[in-house]
Amino acid sequence: MLNFDEKRKLELHALDELRLQAYESSKLYKEKVKSYHDKKILKKEFKAGQSIVLFNSRLKLFPEKLRSKWSDPFTVKEVKPYGAIEIEDPEAQRSWVVNRQRLKPYLGGEVERLCCILS
């Protein structure tokens, strides 16, 4: 009977070691994937006077697949803290504040002008 108890204890210790090994390897894997992902993220920095395009996030009932979701180039008027950016529409001469995540730098080329009415 003692032999069976010792054998069972050894099996339990072996299972604990395997569990700890799996935990460590998954932890290392997650760290590697996170570092790889973080390297691929590009920081978007905007300056006053820079041309940018705005993501149009309005809900549409009948979306047009070929229509761009990025609105015509706007100009950065002021960069505020915590990701807020004031942009200006050069044609309508009005400005408003948007989140930095909705913007990307304008690199040139034609962009379909989307009309947006703000209240």
Q: Is 113 inside any structural domain?
A: no
The reply to whether 110 falls in a domain is no
Q: Is the dihedral of CA 89, 92, 97, 103 positive or negative?
A: negative
Residues 100 and 61 reside in one and the same domain: yes
Q: At a CB cut-off of 8 Å and minimum separation 6, what does 28 contact?
A: none
- In a shared domain, residues 32 and 71: no
Whether residue 76 contacts residue 52, with contact meaning beta carbons closer than 8 Å, is answered with yes
Domain count, the chain: 2
- pLDDT band (50, 70, 90) for residue 14: very high
Query: Do residues 9 and 36 both lie within one domain?
Result: yes
In a domain, 26, yes or no: yes
Cα–Cα distance list, 111 to 30, 35, 67, 72, 118 (Å): 39, 35, 10, 5, 20
Mind listing the pLDDT tens digit for each residue in 18-66?
999 999 999 999 999 999 998 888 778 889 999 998 887 765 666 666 5
Task: Tell me the residue range of the domain where 99 lies.
Answer: 51-105
Q: What is the mean pLDDT of the chain?
A: 82
